[in-house]
Structure 1
Amino acid sequence: MSTVPTEVSPADAVIIPHYNDLPRLERCLHALRENDLGDTEIVVVDNNSPVSLDGIRRAFPEIRFLVEPQKGAAHARNRGVAETTAPRLFFIDADCVPAPDWLTVGRQIADQADLIGGRVDVFDETPSPRSGAEAFEAVFAFNFRRYIEVQGCSGAGNLLTRRDVFDKIGGFINGVSEDREWTMRAVARGYSLVYRDEFCVSHPSRQDWSALKAKWRRTTQEGYQLNGTDAPARLRWALRALAMPASAVVHTPKVISSNKLTSGGEVLRAVSTLFRLRCQRMVWMLRQASGGNI
């Protein structure tokens, strides 16, 4: 009696949300090709970009492309989980570059915790000298170790978890800092979250003040939602706002002593950007605390 073979589910799923950034998505996918892709399904979930993905689809026939019409990385990530079957879930952003051993390392450490976040190195896409934004990001951007070990949360640009954990916790929530909120929700439910330095991706630095300001405006908006909006929460937010300039003073030695900056000019531009950004955040946060918008 003959039997019909059953399809075996892959062990790993890589989920990549994307919107309107084809050059960086292509770079991400080329880097993934350098990994060991055996027993792995890769899904790019596009948020209905205004540009055609036909060319990149043809260049990467081994990768599945989906369209999620609801805007937001949260919706895209949730769709990616729903459309895959693997028990292990690797999350990475389209503008990130995974290390050649990213998947291999992830498989080796997967049993160490329920959620694992890794290192995110910063690189410049423009030639030297660095702008103030690039110098600032070289020192401060993507400190996943601090996020995880001090704040108890992680970004989803480099995150590994299991499908059963995701199913129990539920999906990402759009409109807040969805990766921070999701990992905090998991930790609150008793799931373990650890940092592993060897689990590594890279991310480009913001090139100028406009890009850096846009990033932190979004982060401030999302942080306010997580903080809460009742009167006591707004008071706490106002006090945090007033501490912003002082925090720039506290963090200036970190800039001066950083081995990631290569000249006195970079140090000066990074310090200037640090103070400019913290003062800008103070203004935004005070507006929020008073019930206004930023």
Structure 2
Amino acid sequence: MSTTPTKPVAPADAVIIPHYNDLPRLERCLEALMLNDIRDTEIVVVDNNSPVSLDDLCASFPAVRFITEPEKGAAPARNRGVRETSAQRLFFIDADCVPARDWLAVGREVASRADLIGGRVNVFDETSPPRSGAEAFEAVFAFNFRRYIEVQGCSGAGNLLTRRDVFDEIGGFINGVSEDREWTMRAVAHGYSLIYEDRLQVSHPARQDWPALRAKWRRTTSEGFQLNGTSPAKRLKWAIRALAMPASAVVHIPKVLRSDKLTSSGEILRAITTLIRLRCQRMVWMLRQAAGGTI
């Protein structure tokens, strides 16, 4: 008597990690992930054709599947990761993030509360004290996911939980814009719920110096302009926002002064100086964009 083969049962969870050319941080991410309960979980690293070999990492983490996505960008890497997995629950984390020991457990516990859930991103230093201006600035201002979600109605994908049916309904991440912000805003526009969960935690290293911080915000400003729109009315709105940048620095100085994350007057001064410098730099970039130029 013949029997019908049993269809394999899909894992409950998938963890999708986009990566490009940052092996030490990817290794740190995977080591922390292995401290979680990864039973019934498929873990996929989607590499953007890094110029260095991942063979040693492949050997060190047999529970992880490594896939190459030749199209550059976190958006196509995340999309490829979704396609390569079968779980209904999708955890997104970036390769330079460090998940907490209970990251997966908390995600499983709260998953039914909303269609999309963003969590807390703590900032840590990779260098010895004292903090640089960039590190001090990031300690105060970087990765405020609660505000992104509860005020702006969007979330980053460095710490994001959702479901496959949501992804299938609204489509994948779009390259060339702030792909996580756009994707979560699109999901909310489709009627899906987005909440913040403080217990869903990962950590991210602070940018160490001005060139690294400048590069981050140059990319963010470029992506933000694409989301803003390029019609004459939208450009005018962008220019007005640009002119408000120096004033916004002044408004945010008290936040630096009240922060319990800075440990000396030197760090406070460097954070304030970097805050003012960065907001003025963003003003220049945004005015160029509004006038039709590039940054």
Same fold (TM over 0.5): yes
- Deviation at 1:122? 0.2
Map Cα deviations across residues 259-278 of structure 1 (whole Å, 9 max, x no partner). 00000000000000000000
In structure 2, what is the equivalent of residue 163 of structure 1?
A: 164
Which stretches of structure 1, 4 residues or longer, exceed 6 Å deviation after superposition?
none
In structure 1, what is the equivalent of residue 272 of structure 2?
A: 271
Q: Is 1:194 aligned to 2:195, yes or no? A: yes
Output the amino acid matched with 1:9.
A
Q: Percent identity?
A: 79
- Deviation at 1:223? 0.1
- Deviation at 1:13? 0.2
In structure 1, what is the equivalent of residue 115 of structure 2?
A: 114
Partners in 1 of 2:56 and 2:163 — Cα distance?
Answer: 32
Map Cα deviations across residues 39-97 of structure 1 (whole Å, 9 max, x no partner). 00000000000001111111111100000000000000000000000000000000000
Calculate the aligned-residue CA RMSD, in Å: 0.6
In structure 1, what is the equivalent of residue 132 of structure 2?
A: 131
Partners in 1 of 2:231 and 2:199 — Cα distance?
Answer: 41
Partners in 1 of 2:79 and 2:161 — Cα distance?
Answer: 14
Unaligned runs of 5+ in 2: none
In structure 1, what is the equivalent of residue 207 of structure 2?
A: 206
Output the amino acid matched with 1:57.
C
- Deviation at 1:195? 0.1
Structural mapping, 1:31-70, within 5 Å: 31-70=32-71
In structure 1, what is the equivalent of residue 86 of structure 2?
A: 85
Partners in 2 of 1:179 and 1:110 — Cα distance?
Answer: 19
TM-score, length of structure 1 as denominator length: 0.99
Output the amino acid matched with 1:208.
D
Output the amino acid matched with 1:166.
F
Q: How many residue pairs get matched?
A: 294
For the residue of structure 2 that corresponds to 1:167, the secondary structure is helix
For the residue of structure 2 that corresponds to 1:58, the secondary structure is helix
- Deviation at 1:4? 3.2
- Deviation at 1:7? 1.2
Output the amino acid matched with 2:207.
R
Partners in 2 of 1:237 and 1:4 — Cα distance?
Answer: 59
In structure 2, what is the equivalent of residue 226 of structure 1?
A: 227
In structure 1, what is the equivalent of residue 150 of structure 2?
A: 149
For the residue of structure 2 that corresponds to 1:17, the secondary structure is strand
In structure 2, what is the equivalent of residue 29 of structure 1?
A: 30
Unaligned runs of 5+ in 1: none
In structure 1, what is the equivalent of residue 247 of structure 2?
A: 246
